Amino acid sequence: MKLFLVELEPVETRYTAQWQIHLPVQLREAGFNVEVIEGPSDAPQDTTPGAFLNFSGTNYWKSEQLKTIAGMFAAGEVKDGDYFLYTDAWNPTVLQLKYMAELLGVKIKIGGMWHAGSYDPADFLGRLIGNAPWVRHTEKALFHVFDQNFFATQFHVDMFASELLHDGLFNDYPWYKDYIVELMNSGKITIAGWPMEYLEDAMLPYADADKEDLILFPHRIAPEKQLEIFKDLEQHLPQYKFVVCQEQKLTKHEYHKMLAKAKIVFSANLQETLGISWYEGALVGAIPMVPDRLSYSEMALNEFKYPSDWTINYELYLQHREQIVQHINYLMTNYGNLKPVIQEQRKKLADDFFSGNALYDIIRRNDNG
């Protein structure tokens, strides 16, 4: 079996640039014969403000990937038993891939890693396009094309199934939950974590930095991240330094250096299907302060979760502001005592959510028939 890795475009300030370097290596170390399908080197990289990628650049990148894939089929380079892994499931070229494979009679398998989509009301597609028929039917088609749909967390699976596969009617039809279990048992939907085991080594050089009374906001500046809460907390906790990372225009190296100095990584997010920055923070000894909702509920230890109601919206935040201020003071004062718990959190995240082992095992089973 040849594994064709259809890459998400690399952006230096996102983990996608690290994936471009490390994921092929990790797959080869796992025993796969990997061929990487890239886009053009001149694809625009600057992300659309508040977004994960460049809305035009991503299509420029994927169009070149389609050209490459079509050329491989035309040359007879794609064989029965080959596997295509899309590191971003929201890649319409998979529709043309399926078209060519089916009509040419080449028996391949396809897997896709889901990050977000219109089914998430806090995502750009969800906010700007919503449940427009063209986008919902496109996402359903993508889902059905993939032999395996990979998700990092149960929270993401539940949202995807409820909002997309069942058009928001999940709770009205309890029998539908059995259908989701069936999809998971069959392998059509799989919770596999994300293949980011390289992060431990990447963060190691920063692990011994001296800590400061520093609280970081490591997220994109977007409405669902509720930056206004962080900014208000800064006014009520002047004894600590508050930094919004994206406002600093940091390189990845500079960002990691700042993470290593921080004592707290703060989140009031309304959208998070995984969350990488708080894991990076834990790797260098930063306390994750996260709400008990979204993917955090299944990922975070109780010591690091605060009640969701405290930051559901700005109005509720104002009602609970004094409790949040007291909680931050508690975390800062007890930082030394919490170090062992940070290590427990780090291990849980590394083992259950930031390892590619489950993903590799599933692909390997396809090779074994």
pLDDT digit string, tens, across residues 344-358: 999 999 999 999 999
Q: Are 233 and 290 in the same domain?
A: yes
Average pLDDT, the chain: 92
Q: Are 323 and 180 in the same domain?
A: no
Q: Are 205 and 168 in the same domain?
A: no
Q: Are 161 and 185 in the same domain?
A: yes
Q: Are 204 and 187 in the same domain?
A: no
- CATH code, 328: 3.40.50.2000
What's the rounded Cα separation, in Å, for the pair 114 and 123?
13
Contacts (Cβ under 8 Å, ≥6 apart) of 29: none
- pLDDT score recorded for residue 162: 83
Contacts (Cβ under 8 Å, ≥6 apart) of 239: 213
What's the rounded Cα separation, in Å, for the pair 311 and 82?
47
| Structural domain that includes position 233 | 199-352
Q: Are 69 and 206 in the same domain?
A: no
Cβ atoms of residues 161 and 169 within 8 Å: no
For residue range 259-278, list pLDDT tens digits in order: 999 999 999 999 999 999 99
For residue 9, the 8-state DSSP code is: P
If one counts the domains in the chain, the total is 2
Q: Are 185 and 214 in the same domain?
A: no
Q: Are 27 and 139 in the same domain?
A: yes
Contacts (Cβ under 8 Å, ≥6 apart) of 59: none
- Written as six digits, the tokens of 223 are 């409405």
Averaged pLDDT for residues 307-333: 98
Q: Are 343 and 204 in the same domain?
A: yes
Q: Are 192 and 215 in the same domain?
A: no
Q: Are 126 and 264 in the same domain?
A: no
Of 340, 228, 234, 218, which is closest to residue 279 (Cα–Cα)? 218
For residue range 131-148, list pLDDT tens digits in order: 899 999 999 999 999 999
Q: Are 178 and 224 in the same domain?
A: no
Which residue intervals of 146-207 are DSSP H helices?
154-160, 175-186, 198-203
For residue range 275-312, list pLDDT tens digits in order: 999 999 999 999 999 999 999 999 999 999 999 999 99
